[in-house]
Copies of this chain bind each other. A is one copy, B any other.
Amino acid sequence: MPLSRRIERDIESASKIRKLFEEGIELKKIHGETNVADLSIGNPVVEPPEEFVDTVSGLIQQRAGMHRYMPNLGFPWVRAAVAEALTNQGYFEGLGPEHVMMCSGAAAGLNVVVKTILNPGENVIAVAPYFVEYRAYVENHGGELKVVSASEDFSLDVEKIEKAIDASTRAIIVNSPNNPTGVVYSRDNLLELADLLVRKKSREGKIIYVISDEPYREIIYDDKPFTSITTLYPESFMVYSFSKSLSIPGERIGYVAIHPGMDDSGPIMNGMAICNRVLGFVNAPALMQRAVAGVGVQVDVNHYRVRRDRITKVLEESGYEFADPQGTFYLFVKCLGEEEAFIEKAKETLLLVVPGSAFGHEGWFRIAYCVDDNTIELACRKLRELAEVLEA
């Protein structure tokens, strides 16, 4: 048995998303790049803004000390720049560099936060459908992921969350705009959860942390207002990545900001510094820290809006049911018939989508529409054809 038993099990149930990504590469080799409609992964084809490229080009020429180690939490001036940006954007008052850790993308940030606060045997709540790797991020550190279903409109069902909370509950992961549904939680919905947690803290003296995973918060449509739950509840971690807002997911750069009113913020930040180091991240990539601190723009959301509108039109015309796509570049759609058969049928026609069961919500599927025009058109045709065949 060469592998850890846990990893052997994980290989079996390996993230269907990434598996599809690798399968997509194979299918493209066989059938040609332009004949496969690969909507399986959030790997944006949009290029980063000019300003990002110019910033990095400028930085790389300033040589002295550019690529050295820095404190595990990141360059102090970069952390200060993030704190200032978050303050200017109205998220927090009183936020300083001492509340910010630069990290190697949101997946890194989530692992660091969970390791910092979790004792073995404790649990973290996630709301299904949820990004499948949350389970691993919690189990990595000896915890258990407790899954609670969302409401029918994919908003938070706070009553269900309240029932799921037990003596071992340490945190709740909130992901808005949501992957895979594209839903943006309303301020009222988030307030309801914040109120519950404030009550838990004041009445029972029990702190349940909120871990807010919000890499998609700049990708929102139709002026839908965005609220970060971290602004409503002090015991909150804001986990952010520049992967989507700057279209640089391969570079692994993001941050964790804690609410400045968090109890024990000092020990928490110390703990995060240690966890960032011993988990092997050590620090977020140096050049990219400098780059994101210097870039004030983001990708044009219209690029995604056009694609969303194009696909939703086809879905509507073909009779598919889907979640209200308010943000992200995902659509969450009900399968025509039974999930496994639908996904297989789709794959046969060279349309790659991720089954809902990969997100803990069987019978639906996720479309990632951060792809090029050709793929969008191909996908629209295939979605139409599938509806015709399966409803015939």
Chain A: residues with CB nearer than 8 A to chain B?
2-8, 10-11, 14-15, 18, 21-22, 25, 41, 43-45, 47-48, 53, 56-57, 60-61, 63-72, 104-105, 107-112, 115-119, 133, 136-137, 140-142, 207, 247-252, 263-264, 267-268, 270-271, 274-275, 277-283, 285-288
Contacts and interface: CB of A to CB of B under 8 A. Distances in A.
A277 B57 CA distance: 29
9 contacts: A4-B118, A7-B274, A45-B65, A45-B68, A53-B63, A67-B247, A112-B280, A140-B279, A279-B279
B277 A25 contact: no
Given A4-B271, A137-B280, A279-B280, 17 more contacts: A2-B267, A3-B264, A4-B116, A6-B119, A11-B267, A11-B270, A53-B61, A60-B60, A68-B250, A104-B252, A104-B285, A107-B277, A112-B280, A133-B277, A248-B286, A250-B286, A251-B287
A264 B3 CA distance: 9
Contacts of A115: 4, 7, 140
Contacts of A71: 21-22, 25
Contacts of A3: 116-117, 264, 267-268, 271
Nearest to A17: B277
Contacts of A267: 2-3, 8, 11
B4 A250 contact: no
A179 to B, nearest CB: 14
Contact of A60 (B57, B116, B140): B57
B280 A67 contact: no
A7 B275 contact: yes
A207 B116 CA distance: 33
Contact of A274 (B10, B45, B66, B287): B10
B285 A207 contact: no
Given A53-B61, A117-B3, A105 B22 contact: no
A303 to B, nearest CB: 15
B67 A105 contact: no
A313 B283 CA distance: 35
Nearest to A246: B67
Contacts of A283: 250, 252
Contact of A48 (B48, B67, B108, B271): B67
Nearest to A274: B10
B5 A279 contact: no
